[in-house]
Chain A
């Protein structure tokens, strides 16, 4: 249970422990390792978006002096159905399913030579018509990506590009709509976008003579890389060791594998360590973006602003293989609101685009763009303040979620109240300016974490976990350990360890590290505190029940009758050997009760009515974080998520030509926000403690990307009177609407 206590370190802002390495260039990222004898691997990628592979001839490449290995899908086993799609995404087997789909790989003594050798590989394709939109994928007579696929939970009507269907329902929405005074029925659309992490995927892999595979790579989860690589290669998990490097951003995109199994094959064939680094173009074409979506939404409300019923049907792009986050989207869309009658249906759709991966609150930004745009329209229609409308329907403790369970304490109402009280909400607007607001919700996640805390002989602590530090988590782990042991946070040394050193830990993602791994650190630190009491009891020759632990000291408990000066952690650490040996604490858990996080965002835009260009001129993001362990990094997550959401709303999108070739696979034309595109982003922390966590922590990282798409669109509506139901709101798209159809 979350404890009401006074914290010494929680809520402070110490300098992160890995900070100096990161500002001096010393930190080692994915592409920064070199090993003696290392060679370079490169991938041959499909020039077609959809084609059958007739034959691959690698003999000419193999004959080149300096080319030490060439591999194709035939070098991978194909007997584990659980990773069949993953293996085919890593190296195409029967078909290529998107432009840039990897098909063969070469390792050579230089990167330039490896690239030249790719040109010597001959692939014969039978080119097929590509499927490039949800509409095209679902059309009757559409080319089918996988003829054998039949989705579960659907009537079998023959081959389809629908890979899965999900449904959530409660009550009788269709008849309930009759009780509504206003019913709005709208369609919304978003395009494929990329996480846009600045560090391309990279790894160095060494396969040893005994078959052991050592991987150094930038990943959100060393253990995920270990298990996925072992499964794809068909070997025991214990034959793979993964050392996570520092990671240059991921946002969900570095939770799977692309290069590592291929590099392992190349290393095995060549007997050399192999480095593989994606180019930026490869990252855009062939890593895992977030899919576009189409959402049909219908909501009915009474004149006084109570929602009575809602229905939603949604389709999400999965890319070449099944697995869009449509189910999460379906579970999210109505979660902020409390009403009785609903029906939600979602479809996972495959098409000839890169296989999507997780991107920050997967599925939620797309569906929230829909529901929060519609809520804005409803507020206008009913002439109710948009915050009041949301408050009238807000989810709170006890609200039953569309997918069944009831909320425990959540902070939606608190973030709405904070938004209304914020000076931003009442600030005057200038010419061509408008204000929008939107709320957002994300479940957050628990999952598996381990932590080891080792006390050193001078009373400092080493905290070992397996979560790559993607945004300051070392500092959070150190704060929680320091809090429990009552020592200075600088006296804690947080370490991110490899898969043979740290206990099993799930990925850095799902807004789970500070929550779940932090919880493990708290538990492990408490074990150390208990052990310190045992040691103090030895020193004082008393019962351990007579010893208490407070603020970094063992001291006699009240009424024990003992009269000893308190012993500090350092005092006892000095006597470790003579009191029983080393003092280590270890804890592990499959964390339950990740508290969902709500946010309310306010956005002001200024629109150039003659060009359709939108500038975000003020932005406030308010979020319930449960408890902020290191407020600076909490704010940073909120600001960064908001900035990504603004990019998604305004300019980011994958642009494909008719043949399915990505036309903007670079930062120049993908158009993520640059420093001069954004205002300061006011991150407001609300703390409604998560009742499950010892400190009240909720995950933070994902919710901030959920509201901005609608907040921006609603602000554009307020500024122009034009409601954009399709993203991005890029200048040509907005101008077309501003001028009315025909003129542009």
Chain B
């Protein structure tokens, strides 16, 4: 099971959980698993977001692999950053 950290602004969609455990071999699969448990999470996260897998931040990384022991953080996309 991978651990998913829910951003504070999205916890309202996840019964106020800070962390949840899901199965999933990729960011895409993890997202689908969270959305299956808490319908509406995916929509609330929106199209542009970044993700941190074990501390490494990725932009645009829907298909990045996620190991079973990994911790995944969904982050609002970094606006600017230039």
Per-residue interface assignment for chain A, residues 507 to 526, with 1 indicating a CB less than 8 Å from any chain B CB and 0 otherwise: 10110000000000000000
- The answer to whether residues A328 and B9 also contact, given A405-B52, A406-B55 and a CB cut-off of 8 A, is no
Per-residue interface assignment for chain B, residues 57 to 73, with 1 indicating a CB less than 8 Å from any chain A CB and 0 otherwise: 11111001000000101
Per the bound structure, the CA–CA distance linking A169 and B54 in Å amounts to 19
Give chain B residues whose Cβ lies under 8 Å from the Cβ of A510.
Answer: 81-82
Per-residue interface assignment for chain A, residues 123 to 137, with 1 indicating a CB less than 8 Å from any chain B CB and 0 otherwise: 000000000000000
Per the bound structure, the CA–CA distance linking A249 and B75 in Å amounts to 30
Give chain A residues whose Cβ lies under 8 Å from the Cβ of B55.
Answer: 405-408
The answer to whether B59 touches A590 (Cβ under 8 A) is yes
Per-residue interface assignment for chain B, residues 25 to 55, with 1 indicating a CB less than 8 Å from any chain A CB and 0 otherwise: 0000000000000000000001000001011
Give chain B residues whose Cβ lies under 8 Å from the Cβ of A46.
Answer: none
A563 interface hit (Cβ, 8 Å): no
A76 interface hit (Cβ, 8 Å): no
Q: Which stretch, A440-448, A623-631, A662-670, touches the partner chain B?
A: A440-448
- The answer to whether residues A405 and B73 also contact, given A153-B9, A592-B61 and a CB cut-off of 8 A, is yes
Per the bound structure, the CA–CA distance linking A295 and B76 in Å amounts to 20
A41 interface hit (Cβ, 8 Å): no
Q: Using CB atoms, name the residue of chain A closest to B6.
A: A404
Give chain B residues whose Cβ lies under 8 Å from the Cβ of A244.
Answer: none
- The answer to whether residues A509 and B82 also contact, given A166-B76, A446-B59 and a CB cut-off of 8 A, is yes
Give chain A residues whose Cβ lies under 8 Å from the Cβ of B60.
Answer: 447, 590
- The answer to whether residues A404 and B80 also contact, given A593-B56, A594-B57 and a CB cut-off of 8 A, is no
Q: Using CB atoms, name the residue of chain A closest to B46.
A: A152
Give chain B residues whose Cβ lies under 8 Å from the Cβ of A407.
Answer: 55
Per the bound structure, the CA–CA distance linking A358 and B82 in Å amounts to 6
- Tally of chain B residues near chain A (CB < 8 A): 24
Per the bound structure, the CA–CA distance linking A702 and B82 in Å amounts to 8
Per the bound structure, the CA–CA distance linking A593 and B75 in Å amounts to 15
Give chain A residues whose Cβ lies under 8 Å from the Cβ of B80.
Answer: 252, 325, 328, 358, 362-363
Give chain B residues whose Cβ lies under 8 Å from the Cβ of A540.
Answer: none
The answer to whether A445 touches B59 (Cβ under 8 A) is yes
Give chain A residues whose Cβ lies under 8 Å from the Cβ of B82.
Answer: 220, 252, 255, 358, 360, 362, 445, 507, 509-510, 702
Per the bound structure, the CA–CA distance linking A510 and B78 in Å amounts to 10
Per the bound structure, the CA–CA distance linking A170 and B5 in Å amounts to 11
Per the bound structure, the CA–CA distance linking A578 and B58 in Å amounts to 43
The answer to whether B76 touches A445 (Cβ under 8 A) is no
Per-residue interface assignment for chain A, residues 315 to 342, with 1 indicating a CB less than 8 Å from any chain B CB and 0 otherwise: 0000000011101100100000000000
Per the bound structure, the CA–CA distance linking A406 and B79 in Å amounts to 20
The answer to whether B52 touches A327 (Cβ under 8 A) is no
The answer to whether B56 touches A404 (Cβ under 8 A) is no
The answer to whether A168 touches B7 (Cβ under 8 A) is yes
Per-residue interface assignment for chain A, residues 227 to 265, with 1 indicating a CB less than 8 Å from any chain B CB and 0 otherwise: 000000000000000000000000010010000000000
Q: How many A-B residue pairs have CB under 8 A?
A: 89
- The answer to whether residues A166 and B52 also contact, given A358-B81, A510-B81, A590-B61 and a CB cut-off of 8 A, is no
Per the bound structure, the CA–CA distance linking A407 and B52 in Å amounts to 11
- The answer to whether residues A405 and B57 also contact, given A327-B79, A358-B81, A507-B82 and a CB cut-off of 8 A, is yes
Give chain B residues whose Cβ lies under 8 Å from the Cβ of A446.
Answer: 57-59
Per the bound structure, the CA–CA distance linking A478 and B8 in Å amounts to 44
Per the bound structure, the CA–CA distance linking A446 and B40 in Å amounts to 30
Give chain B residues whose Cβ lies under 8 Å from the Cβ of A323.
Answer: 79
Give chain B residues whose Cβ lies under 8 Å from the Cβ of A687.
Answer: none
Per the bound structure, the CA–CA distance linking A484 and B62 in Å amounts to 32
How far in angstroms is the closest Cβ of chain A from B26? 14
Per the bound structure, the CA–CA distance linking A152 and B9 in Å amounts to 10
A281 interface hit (Cβ, 8 Å): no
B56 contact from A325, A445, A507, A592, Cβ within 8 A: A592
Centre residue among A325, A360, A692 by max chain B CB count within 10 A? A325
The answer to whether A169 touches B81 (Cβ under 8 A) is no
Per the bound structure, the CA–CA distance linking A282 and B52 in Å amounts to 40
A167 interface hit (Cβ, 8 Å): yes
Question: Which residues of chain A from 388 to 437 have a CB within 8 Å of any chain B CB?
Answer: 403-408
Per the bound structure, the CA–CA distance linking A363 and B75 in Å amounts to 17
How far in angstroms is the closest Cβ of chain B from A247? 13
Q: Using CB atoms, name the residue of chain B closest to A509.
A: B82
B7 contact from A403, A507, A593, A702, Cβ within 8 A: A403
Give chain B residues whose Cβ lies under 8 Å from the Cβ of A360.
Answer: 82
Q: Using CB atoms, name the residue of chain B closest to A403.
A: B75
Centre residue among A165, A327, A360 by max chain B CB count within 10 A? A327
The answer to whether A404 touches B61 (Cβ under 8 A) is no
Q: Using CB atoms, name the residue of chain B closest to A402.
A: B8
B73 contact from A220, A328, A404, A447, Cβ within 8 A: A404
Per the bound structure, the CA–CA distance linking A327 and B46 in Å amounts to 15
The answer to whether A168 touches B59 (Cβ under 8 A) is no
Give chain B residues whose Cβ lies under 8 Å from the Cβ of A592.
Answer: 56-58, 61, 64
How far in angstroms is the closest Cβ of chain B from A444? 8
- The answer to whether residues A404 and B79 also contact, given A167-B9, A169-B8, A592-B57 and a CB cut-off of 8 A, is no
The answer to whether A443 touches B57 (Cβ under 8 A) is yes
Give chain A residues whose Cβ lies under 8 Å from the Cβ of B8.
Answer: 167-170
Give chain A residues whose Cβ lies under 8 Å from the Cβ of B61.
Answer: 590, 592
Give chain B residues whose Cβ lies under 8 Å from the Cβ of A153.
Answer: 9
Question: Which residues of chain B from 11 to 37 have a CB within 8 Å of any chain A CB?
Answer: none
How far in angstroms is the closest Cβ of chain A from B58? 5
Per the bound structure, the CA–CA distance linking A350 and B64 in Å amounts to 35
Give chain A residues whose Cβ lies under 8 Å from the Cβ of B58.
Answer: 446, 590, 592
Give chain A residues whose Cβ lies under 8 Å from the Cβ of B71.
Answer: 405
Give B contacts to A, CB under 8 Å. 5, 7-9, 46, 52, 54-61, 64, 71, 73, 75-76, 78-82
A–B complex contacts, Cβ < 8 Å, 10 sampled: A167-B9, A252-B80, A327-B76, A328-B80, A360-B82, A405-B52, A405-B73, A407-B55, A408-B56, A593-B56
